[in-house]
Amino acid sequence: MKLIKFASITKKIALAAFGLFLLLFLPVHLGINLCLLREDGGEWYRNASHFMGTNYIVKVFEIVLLASVLLHIIIAILLTIENFLARPIRYKVATKTKTPFMSRYMIWTGGVIACFLVIHFINFYFVKFDLVEGKYSADMEQVDKHFQEKAIKLQSGELSEKEQASLMAQYQAISQVSMDKMDKNRKNLVNLTKDEVKLYCGEDFKHYEPDFYNMSLELFANKTYSIIYLLVFVVLGFHLFHALGSLAQTLGLNHKKYTPIIDVVALAYAVIIPLGFAAIPLWLMFML
Amino acid sequence: MDFTLKIWRQENQKAKGRFETYKIKDISPDCSFLEMLDILNESLVNKLSHPVCFDNDCREGICGMCGLYINGRPHGPDDAVTTCQLHMRKFTDGETITIEPWRAKPFPVIRDLVVDRTALDKMIQEGGYISVTSGGVPDGNAIPIPKHKADQAMDSASCIGCGACIAACKNASAMLFVGAKVTQLALLPQGKPEAAIRVQKMVAKMDELGFGNCTNTYACEAECPKEIKRSNISRMNLEFILAKIVSEETI
Amino acid sequence: MSTLDSKIPEGQLSEKWTRYKSSQKLVNPANKRKLDIIVVGTGLAGSSAAASLGALGFNVKIFCISDSPRRAHSIAAQGGINAAKNYQNDGDSIERLFNDTIKGGDYRAREANVYRLAEVANSIIDQGVAQGIPFARDYAGLLDNRSFGGSQVSRTFYAKGQTGQQLLLGAYSALSKEIKAGTVKMYERREMMDLVVIDGQARGIITRNLQTGELERWSSHAVVMATGGYGNVYFLSTNAMECNGSAAVQCYHKGAMFANPCFVQIHPTCIPVKGDYQSKLTLMSESLRNDGRIWVPKNIEDAKAIREGKLNPTDLKEEDRDYYLERRYPAFGNLVPRDIASRAAKERCDAGYGVGAGFAVYLDFKTAIERLGRDKIQERYGNLFQMYEKIVDVDPYENPMMIYPAVHYTMGGLWVDYELQTTIPGLFATGEANFSDHGANRLGASALMQGLADGYFILPYTMQNFLADKIHQPRVSIETKEFDEAEKSVRAKLESIMAIKGEKTVDTLQRELGHIMWEYVGMGRNAEKLTKAIPMLADLRKEFWSNVRVTGDMNSMNPELAKALRLADHIELAEIMAKDALQREESCGGHYREEYVTDEGEARRDDKNFMFVGVWEYKGEEQEPIMHKEELNYEFINVQQRNYK
Ligand SMILES: Cc1cc2nc3c(=O)[nH]c(=O)nc-3n(C[C@H](O)[C@H](O)[C@H](O)COP(=O)(O)OP(=O)(O)OC[C@H]3O[C@@H](n4cnc5c(N)ncnc54)[C@H](O)[C@@H]3O)c2cc1C
Ligand code: HEM
Ligand code: FES
């Protein structure tokens, strides 16, 4: 039974192509994450997040990326089902053939990654779409600007009573804002809940952004989460270790001269990338 | 040497199969695996029961007719041999040996350990050849072929069509078998004119017959009695990409 | 039918085939579709014939004994295929290949056939290259050659140690193409059970479906037998397990005569027998004799010590080794023809110089490894060395290989004329199944050549000549009384075998047959042994028909039954082999009669009385067969005593 009407190799190549895209994205993501470690109160990190969240090219890229993740997963699952069906009666004795260990468990390592991605999306990505609530930040200048605009309207008597009250509350709140709601440079309000955003920035303030920096720090403060996170990256390492060589094989790049090099690169990639990601909770757990 | 054999028995394609256990004694370590089964069969005939059916022909590892799944490995515990070349010295005295037929959807069991492998021929018939007819061809030396290319083509061409790659693959994929043929013919100048159409047709047939897909696990390479390399699969993928993207020929 | 007309065309040797082709009858394309051809056997001969005939437009049905044509016995040929391309510029030519083949066959082959073979051989190489066969090449990218026994030029083309495999896969691919095109229909797991002759013409066959046990009928205008040789009469041979002479015997019973049954080739380089459980012998390619040197200890004490495991062969000094082939035949050395090399090995072992269990000699690569390096040897023979090590468990790079002669090839077969037609009109025989080209001994690398020459380049012409007269002959129904009778007799035979329920397994009887044949009709024959063998074989036949035990049933897959059927025919074949050997009071090629030797112990041929083909005609059960003679006239070749010294 063929679940979708593409040639087997077409499916396989699509899987690899989407995988390749993910492979390319991972270092970018890692680069941003590593900004967390800079003791600048999240300035770089925030700038990077801001760029990623607002640049139009990046937005296109983001759609492709999301599609890649989904399609990679969908094709992987389809192939796994098809492959399972290709042997309706299974062997009694389990295979003793020596094969690269990781290659046999790609769907499982992938599955673990997928589960983590769900958590990860809930924790971070969905915040962007207001699907779940997270922590937010707002540029003080923006807040100020917004406040000034409101103040002008107040003077010209355009505000309703309710709006007046809220503006007053905002004024009070903001003048007593605690230090931990401000970043180091006092440029941004940070670590705000939705209510706090309303409180500090005003009911209809639109220019707040998810505060991934503090959300991360908060999550990593949770030991259980950190450990799960570390484990997931070990698993990712396994997935990646097979993925890169496999990718080359799938795309027809098997060459006496280059395959050994690709194998080394695959190993390096599979170690460095997860290690980079893991460095963050490790650093936070042991160094701070 | 003494062994306990657990052998898959199945009367015909439709019958429900089962494992039967047999004891066999005083086997010489120099005896080949199939000769050990011959001895078992002779004793079964003496007991008036039906001998175990298994395919074999050349008994020297070239016809690809034999093929048993022995203790979890196609062609048994030795590397780079067919079942007929496997010798009992590779087992330990007193061992229990489980023998199963090749398992794959396109390989239905015919009887006991005999499976129907005509699916392999069907894939070759789709284009695993160069379409010349007898006579009217140029001199053998008309086109020089670089030695390393000819050697590589020979390595791919040494496939014996036993199906161990498919039996070994966790997905019952026939990519090594098809890949070897596609590669052999793609490497040679004679095979080039039909390369784009060949790979598309053979892959389509492979899918149609119900073989699984490759997940780059390389069990095929590990179990191939002729040590055919996975680079053949890679080469086929490349040929396929080129055929689909560059070539104007479609199937 | 006592006059055998070999239908050799008139004219100069080199013009015969051209002349034949230009005057033969042809069939137009529209008529070809109306003509059916049955091909039995999918080896080189059968596959190439079916592919070529299908491509011409005939309706071809091919019957394959196993699941795929690629399993056929031809797949096992290792060494190579001859052709007189003279790419090496070493003086080769069609004439020389012709001469070598006739001489190698000890002047017992038909001149015109052999010349034609040498003539078309070059086209086989071209055909193979065009099919994508990866023949070995040199660094310039041109085809490479190696030397084989019985010739002083390098004319053997090869694909590693797997030449037969590659050639068969080439023919198989041509066949696959025709199957796809619909001109050839393939029926797998079918064994031919009988030939159907209607009005004196071969019009069909009965097969048994080995998967279901069903008997089936097939009709046609002509039948091609490409069923290979009968070496398995000896039980232990280098032939594949499914090789059998059964189909040839069926044709013999129906009136096709059997030529030179006693001509059997014993190959000098096989892995020696290990134990009585052994089911077959493995060949180590003749090409090994290019670089390997054959020897036994010079002193009988050393041989004894080696046999007892007290002495290691590698410790034996150079001067204590007897390179007996180099000693006796300095001109050809280790590359003497097979029959000579085999007899020399047997002679040494019989004299007590054998190693291993006493029936083995050494094939040593030490000198070659020193001269060329291990890598070169590995490149040339790697897979053979590996095969040896897997079987024997000894590393042949470090220790000399042990080899001993074994039954390998049968030169005899169905008698055919120049058109490859048997004495039954419409029944053709090709490849090892016929007798035509190798005389009393076949040179290495010429069986592949012959099978393919027949299939690609000869049958497509000669069969057309026959079929041209049949375009008005309608297809025949499979419900005729001839088909009924044939099927009935096959069924009766099957039933009677199943009904015996005796005491002896097929394997046991087969081993007994093999033993009689090897001991009495083997490498060294004499009148005494042969006259003993004939009644022994008759007894064995009786024993078979009264005491064989076949279990299971006949309506399902039952290899034991299939083996039993073949064994019955093999016993019969063995009887005419023995009779033919007894009748031929000379030593020639593979047929060595101990009474007929020169003073130097070499074979002594008797051209005056025995320059003929012994052609046997079946006269019915319990009747003595009759032998006819096809006299061989050597018009163009100068008949000499073979001399490889
Ligand atoms: C180990 C070995 C190495 C050799 N090496 C060389 C070499 O290097 N060079 C060389 O020139 N020659 C070599 N030969 C000889 C050569 O391989 C054979 O003579 C040749 O291949 C015969 O080809 P064929 O097509 O006539 O018959 P085969 O290949 O024997 O094909 C006949 C087929 O018909 C089948 N058959 C038989 N009876 C029936 C039936 N009743 N119904 C249906 N099918 C039937 C057989 O099972 C077989 O598959 C070698 C032989 C052996 C054994
Ligand atoms: C960051 C995340 C991921 C990256 C970078 C990635 C990358 C890759 C790459 C490059 C391949 C090799 C493709 C090939 O074999 O040619 C691959 C294979 C695979 N991936 Fe992923 N992947 C990721 C996540 C996932 C997820 C979430 C799944 C979930 C199911 C998954 C399942 C698989 C499977 C099953 C394979 C092997 C399929 C096969 O070989 O046929 N991957 N991956
Ligand atoms: S029987 Fe031919 S490969 Fe094993």
The domain in which residue B22 lies consists of 3-111
Q: Is B66 in the pocket of ligand 3 (CB under 6 A)?
A: yes
- Nearest-CA residue of chain C relative to B39? C277
Q: Which residues pair with C417 in a beta bridge?
A: none
C128-140 pLDDT, tens digit each: 999 999 999 999 9
pLDDT number for residue A4: 63
Nearest ligand atom owner, CA of B160 = 3
C344-361 tens-digit pLDDT:
999 999 999 999 989 999
Ligand 3 geometric centre to CA of B57 (Å): 5
Give the total number of structural domains in chain B.
Answer: 2
Do C and B make contact, counting contact as 3+ CB pairs within 8 angstroms? yes
User: Does ligand 3 have an atom closer than 6 angstroms to the CB of B32?
Assistant: no
**Prediction pTM value:** 0.95
Instruction: Verify whether the Cβ–Cβ distance B105 to A85 is below 8 Å.
Output: yes
Instruction: Judge if B105 and B130 occupy the same domain.
Output: no
More confident residue, B230 or A45: B230
Q: Which of C66, C127, C391 sits opposite B65 (nearest CB)?
A: C66
Minimum mean pLDDT among A203-217, B34-48, C332-346, C468-482: which range?
Answer: A203-217
- Here the tokens at position B7 are 């052998």
> Domain spans of chain C?
267-408, 481-606
Residue C54 has pLDDT above 70, yes or no: yes
Q: Let me know: does C226 contact C430? Beta carbons within 8 Å.
A: yes
Min Cα–Cα distance to chain B from C33, Å: 17
Contact B98, A92 (CB under 8 A): yes
Ligand 3 close to Cβ of residue B82 (< 6 A): yes
Residues B153 and B235 placed together within one structural domain of the fold: yes
Task: Please indicate, yes or no, whether residues B242 and B122 belong to a single structural domain of this protein.
Answer: yes
Task: Give the best residue of C71, C179, C267 to mutate against chain B (max B CB count within 10 A).
Answer: C71
From B127, B129, B216, B208, select the one nearest B175 (Cα to Cα): B216
Cβ pair A87:B73 closer than 8 A:
no
For range B209-234, the mean pLDDT: 96
State both tokens at B123: 């894939």
pLDDT band at C1 (very low <50, low <70, confident <90, very high): very low
> In this complex, do B49 and C87 lie within 8 Å of one another by their Cβ atoms?
no
Q: What is the pLDDT of residue A288?
A: 60
Task: Tell me the per-residue pLDDT of C485-526, one tens digit each, with 9 for 90 and over.
Answer: 999 999 999 999 999 999 999 999 999 999 999 999 999 999
Count of C-beta atoms within a 10 Å radius of residue A174: 18
Interface test with C, best of B9, B34, B37, B58 (most C CBs within 10 A): B58
| Residue B15 Cα, gap to closest chain A Cα (Å) | 14
Chains in touch with C (3+ beta-carbon pairs under 8 Å) read: B
Bridge-partner residues for C386, per DSSP? none
Q: Tell me if B251 is assigned to some domain.
A: no
Q: How far apart are CA A177 and CA C588, in angstroms?
A: 116
- Closest residue in B to C64 (Cα–Cα): B118
Give the helix ranges, DSSP H, for B169-230: 175-187, 195-209, 219-223
The residue ranking higher by pLDDT, A39 or A279, is A279
Provide, rounded to the nearest whole percent, the portion of chain C with pLDDT above 70. Answer: 100
Q: Where a domain ends, among B80, B111, B142?
A: B111
A9 → closest Cβ in B171, B223, B240: B240
Q: How far apart are CA C464 and CA C467, in angstroms?
A: 5
Indicate if ligand 3 lies below 6 Å from the C-beta of B84: yes
- B195 shares a domain with B93: no
B10 C-alpha to ligand 1 centroid (Å) = 32
**Given this model, what pLDDT does residue A244 score?**
93
Range C308-317 average pLDDT: 93
Chosen from B87, B134, B141 to mutate, greatest number of chain C CBs within 10 A: B134
Same domain, B40 and B102: yes
Q: Which two tokens stand for residue C391?
A: 């079987």
Percent of chain B at pLDDT above 70?
A: 100
User: What is the value of ipTM here, to two decimals?
Assistant: 0.97
**For chain C, what percent of residues have pLDDT higher than 90?**
91
Q: Considering only the top CATH level, what class is C481-606? A: mainly alpha
Helix (H) or strand (E) segment spanning residue C409: strand C401-410
Say yes or no: CB of residue A112 within 6 Å of ligand 2: no
Is any atom of ligand 1 closer than 6 Å to the C-beta of C73? yes
Q: Do residues B155 and B98 both lie within one domain?
A: no
CB half-sphere exposure, C607, CA atoms < 13 A: 12
Catalytic residues of C: 338
Query: What pLDDT, in 10s, does the model give residues B55-97?
Result: 999 999 999 999 999 999 999 999 999 999 999 999 999 999 9
B71 in any annotated domain: yes
Last residue of a domain, one of B77, B111, B145: B111
Q: Which tokens sit at C377?
A: 């040897």
CATH number at residue B85: 3.10.20.30
Identify the nearest ligand to the CA of B62 by its number. 3
Same domain, B184 and B146: yes
DSSP element (H, E) containing C73: none
Let me know: does B68 contact B75? Beta carbons within 8 Å: yes
What CATH code would you report for C267-408? Answer: 3.90.700.10
Q: Are C579 and C525 in contact (CB under 8 A)?
A: no
The residue behind tokens 């890679």 is: B234
Minimal CA separation from B173 to chain A, in Å: 8
Check whether C79 has a pLDDT greater than 90: no
d(CA C176, CA B49): 39
- Rounded to the nearest angstrom, the minimum Cα separation between B43 and chain A is 26
**Ligand 2 centre distance from Cα of residue A83 (Å):** 15
Closest Cα in chain C to B53: C559
On whether both B93 and B190 belong to a single domain, the answer is no
pLDDT band at C147 (very low <50, low <70, confident <90, very high): confident
Q: Which residue has the tokens 């015109």?
A: C112
Helix and strand numbers, DSSP H then E, in chain C: 19, 21
Domain ends where: B51, B85, B111? B111
Evaluate: CB of B37 within 6 angstroms of ligand 3.
Answer: no
CATH of the domain at B204: 1.10.1060.10
Query: Do the chains contact at C52 and B133, CB–CB below 8 Å?
Result: yes
Distance from CA of B57 to the nearest CA of A (A): 25
By Cβ distance, the residue of B213, B231, B234 closest to A8 is B213
Cβ neighbours of C174 in B, within 8 Å: 129, 132-134
Q: What is the pLDDT of residues C240-292, one digit of tens each?
A: 999 999 999 999 999 999 999 999 999 999 999 988 889 999 999 888 998 99
Asked whether residue B12 falls in the same domain as residue B32, the answer is: yes
Asked whether the predicted pLDDT for residue A2 surpasses 80, the reply is no
Report CA(C438)–ligand 1 centroid distance (Å). 15
Start-to-end CA span in chain C (Å): 43
Interchain pair C390, B53: CB under 8 A: no
Instruction: Give the pLDDT mean for C567-586.
Output: 98
Residues B122 and B241 placed together within one structural domain of the fold: yes
Inter-chain touch B222–A106, beta carbons under 8 Å: no
Cβ B211–A86 below 8 Å, yes or no? Answer: yes
The number of the ligand nearest the C-alpha atom of C68 reads: 1
Contact C551 B62 (CB under 8 A): no
Say whether both B86 and B128 belong to one domain: no
For residue range B179-207, list pLDDT tens digits in order: 999 999 999 999 999 999 999 999 999 99
Indicate yes or no: CB of A103 within 8 angstroms of CB of B223.
no
CA atoms within 13 A on the CB side of C88: 19
So where are chain A's domains? Answer: 8-87+103-132+214-286, 136-210
pLDDT band at B104 (very low <50, low <70, confident <90, very high): very high
